[in-house]
Amino acid sequence: MAPRVTQTTASIDRGPGAGLGTPLQYLKGVGPRRAALLEKKGLATVEDALFFVPLRHEDRTRFTPLSALQPGDVRTVTGIVAGIAPPPPGRPRVPLKVTLRDERGLASAVFFNARYLTRVLKRGQRVILHGRVGRDYGAITLQHPEWEIVEPDDDERVHSGRLVPIYSLTEGLTQRPLRALLWRIVEDYAAKIPEVLPESVLERRKLIGLDRAIHDVHFPESEAALAAGRRRLTFDDFLFLQLGLAILKSRTTRTRGVAMRPRGALVARLLSGLPFRLTGAQERVWDEIRRDMAAPWPMHRLLQGDVGSGKTIVAALAVLTAIEAGYQAAVMAPTEILAEQHFMTFHQLLEPLGVRVTLLTSALTPRDRAARRAALAAGEIECVVGTHALVQKGVGLKRLGLAIVDEQHRFGVEQRARLKALGEHPDVLVMTATPIPRTLALTLHGDLDVSVLDELPPGRRPVITKARTEIGRAKIYDFIRAQVGAGRQAYVVYPLVEESETLDLKAATDMARHLEQDIFPDLTVGLLHGRLRFEEKESIMRRFKAGAIQVLVSTTVIEVGVDVPNASVMVIEHAERFGLSQLHQLRGRVGRGPWASYCILLHGTRLGDDAQRRIDAMVATNDGFKIAEADLALRGPGEFFGTRQSGLPEFRVADLLRDGAVLEEARRDAETIVAGDPDLRTPAHRGLREMLLARWRGKIGLASVG
C-alpha cells in the first residue's frame, strides 16, 4: 500500500493548507535543540503547533499594583527585582525569597526547591509573576508563582497589554520564547488552515471559522473572541469523536447477523426456578435485549446498572436464548477472580438446565486449557466464561452467537473487536457497573445502544456508611460481634495481601490470624485472597455463603461479583487507599438482604484532599450515578475513562464535564451527517473525512473515494 499522503504535507506553498506540514525545525530561530524540546511536547510540525492550545490566558492589560495584593487572591503582577535571598546553605527546605518593587510598593515572592533561580534572576530585572497571594510572617507574599523575565528586546505586543496565552512547558522550554514562536506561527499560518466543517453546520451552530478559531485561542483580542474560538474547537473535538462512533455504529446495523428467535423454553425454566420476580427495570431491559437478539443484525448494546441491580440474571437470560437458538455464548471478565465468580454463578444457574459451562483463564494448566479449548471448538460446551485468555490465539468456538463483556470500562475498543471476531457477527452485550451520566455514556459508548437498570430489587435499604479512624477500632469489633450475634455476617477488606515494609500495611493474612485468635476466638474467621487456588477460593466462598464462616477477611478480590445477602457489615481498612468506584463496588457487597447494612470506612488521621473527598462522597450518598460523577470530577475524564485504553481520539480543548451542551449538538450533527453519507464521500464532506482519518489514526477505515 502506498503511504497515505495527507493534504497538508502534499500541499504546495500557496492556497489552503500551504506549509502546515513544515517541520518546526525549518522555522527561523528553531534549531535542532529547540526542535527536540518541542518534539517532546508532541510538536513536530507547524500544524501541531497551531493546535497546541494554551493552558489558560492571563489578562495583562492591567497588572495588579503590589500594594493592592490581598491574601487568597490569584493575581498577575509586574515589578523590578529588588533583592534575592537564597536558602541558607544546608537548609534546602527554606524557600528562596525574591523582593519585588513597582511604582508604589513592595511585595515578595517565595519559591520552593528553586535555588537555580539565583542563576536566572538578577536585581534590576523586570519580571512578571502569576500566582496565589499568601502571607509569610505577616508579609504579603506570592506563593511559588509562575515567572517570566521581561527582556528589553521582547516584542511587547506578544507578552503583555493583552490576553496572554500560557502554555504547558517542559524542562528547558520556557514560556517567553515558546510564546514568541507561537505568535510567529499563528501570524504566518493560522489563516491558511483549511475549513473542515460543512457550511451548513457552521451556520446552524453559529460557529466561527477554523482559521479564526485557532488564531483566537492563542492570541484573542477579547474574552468573547477567546470563548468563541474555544467553542469552535470544542465542537470539533466532539464532532470527530461522534462521527467516528456513528460510522462504527452504522456499520453494525448494516451488517447481517443472526436472528435468534427460540421458543424461550430455557428462559422460562430459569425464571420459574428463581426465588424472585424480575424488577420492572429488568423486564424492560430484557425486552430490549431480546428484540436485539431476534433482529437480523448484530446486537451491540451496553447494559448499565449500579452494583446489585441484577445484571447477572439478565445476562443469563441472554445466554440461554443464544443456546436455545443453537449457538454458543462467551462471557469475558477483566480479572481472573471476577471470571471465576461469574463462572460459579453461571454454573449454578445454568447447569440444572442441562447447559454445559466452562472456565477459561490463564491460571489453568496447559493441559486443562487445551482440553477445554478442544471442547469449545467441537461445540461440546455451550457457555464459556473467561478472561483475556478467551481472545488469545488458539481459541476457536464452533458457533459463537453471543459475546458478553463485563466491566467494559477496563476493556478497549480493540479487545471488544477481537472478542467479536471469534464468531461471525455475534450479538454483543457489554455490562458495566460504573453508571455514568447520559452525555458521558454517549461519548464513550456512542457506538452502542444503551440499556439502564435504574431500579434495585425490592427491599434493598441504603447502606449506612460511616468514616472512622483507629480510635474507633474496638467499637467496630463490638459492632461486628453484635451483628454476628443477630445472625448476620461481616466482611473485613484489605488493600494488600502481604505485609509490605514500604507501605506499612496490616496485611490481610496477619489480620485474619489476629481476629481469629485475639478478637473473635469463638467465631469462624475466613481468609480470601487472590493467590489462593481456584478450589480454595471456591470452598471459602461456599462456606461463607452457607454461613459457616462469620467474618470473612479479604483482599479486594471480592470487589465484584460476590453475592451473600446475609452479610450486613463491610469494614474497609485503609479506605483512603481505595479509589471511589472501588469503594462503591465494595460497599455493594452488603445491603443485599432485608436487614439494615453498614459500611465502615477505616482510615488514617491525615488524609490528602482527594482521599477526604472520596470518603465524604461515600458517606454522603449510595447513588452510583452520584458516586460516578464525583469520581469523574476528582480524576478527570482521561483517567476516569482510561481514554488511552479505550482507543478513542483525545480532546484538544473539550471538557466533558463543562461542555455537555456542545457534545449534544455535535452528536446530533454527526448522526445526521453519517445518516446521509455513511462513508463521507460527498465533496462537501471532504474536509471532515481528512480530519476524521487523522484524528482516529487508522482506527477507522473509510472506503477510498475514487
Q: What does the binding site for ligand ADP look like in residue numbers (CB under 6 A)?
A: 276, 278-279, 282, 305, 307-313, 433, 457, 563, 565, 592
Nearest CB to ligand ADP, comparing residues 435 and 687: 435
Other C-beta atoms lying within 10 Å of the C-beta of residue 26: 11
DSSP helix/strand/coil, 685 = helix
Nearest CB to ligand ADP, comparing residues 315 and 330: 315
CB of 434 to ligand ADP, least distance (A): 11
CB of 316 to ligand ADP, least distance (A): 9
The rounded distance, in Å, linking the Cα atoms of 521 and 515 is 8
CB of 455 to ligand ADP, least distance (A): 9
The rounded distance, in Å, linking the Cα atoms of 320 and 324 is 6
> Is 220 within 8 Å of 232 (Cβ atoms)?
no
Q: What letters, b where the CB count within 10 A reaches 16 and e where it falls short, cover 456-466?
A: bbeebeebebe
CB of 340 to ligand ADP, least distance (A): 14
Nearest CB to ligand ADP, comparing residues 307 and 525: 307
Nearest CB to ligand ADP, comparing residues 182 and 562: 562
> Is 80 within 8 Å of 66 (Cβ atoms)?
no
CB of 345 to ligand ADP, least distance (A): 7
Other C-beta atoms lying within 10 Å of the C-beta of residue 655: 15
CA distances from 602 to 8, 138, 498, 608, 630 (A): 57, 38, 19, 15, 20
AA identity, residue 312:
T
Nearest CB to ligand ADP, comparing residues 46 and 404: 404
- Which is nearest to 563 in space by CA: 593, 608, 519? 593
Nearest CB to ligand ADP, comparing residues 110 and 344: 344
The C-alpha torsion from 496 through 501 and 506 to 511, rounded to 10°, is: 90
DSSP 309: S
Nearest CB to ligand ADP, comparing residues 344 and 395: 344
The rounded distance, in Å, linking the Cα atoms of 340 and 12 is 60
CB of 647 to ligand ADP, least distance (A): 26
CB of 391 to ligand ADP, least distance (A): 22
CB of 687 to ligand ADP, least distance (A): 44
The rounded distance, in Å, linking the Cα atoms of 285 and 313 is 11
The rounded distance, in Å, linking the Cα atoms of 358 and 349 is 13
Q: Are strands 449-453 and 96-101 parallel, antiparallel or unpaired?
A: unpaired
Nearest CB to ligand ADP, comparing residues 165 and 310: 310
Nearest CB to ligand ADP, comparing residues 116 and 276: 276
E strand or H helix at 428, and its extent? strand 427-432
CB of 445 to ligand ADP, least distance (A): 17
CB of 309 to ligand ADP, least distance (A): 4
> Is 218 within 8 Å of 202 (Cβ atoms)?
no
535-541 contact pairs (CB < 8 A, 24+): 537/337, 537/340, 538/340, 538/344, 541/341, 541/344
Cross-strand pairs, 98: 84, 109
Nearest CB to ligand ADP, comparing residues 47 and 406: 406
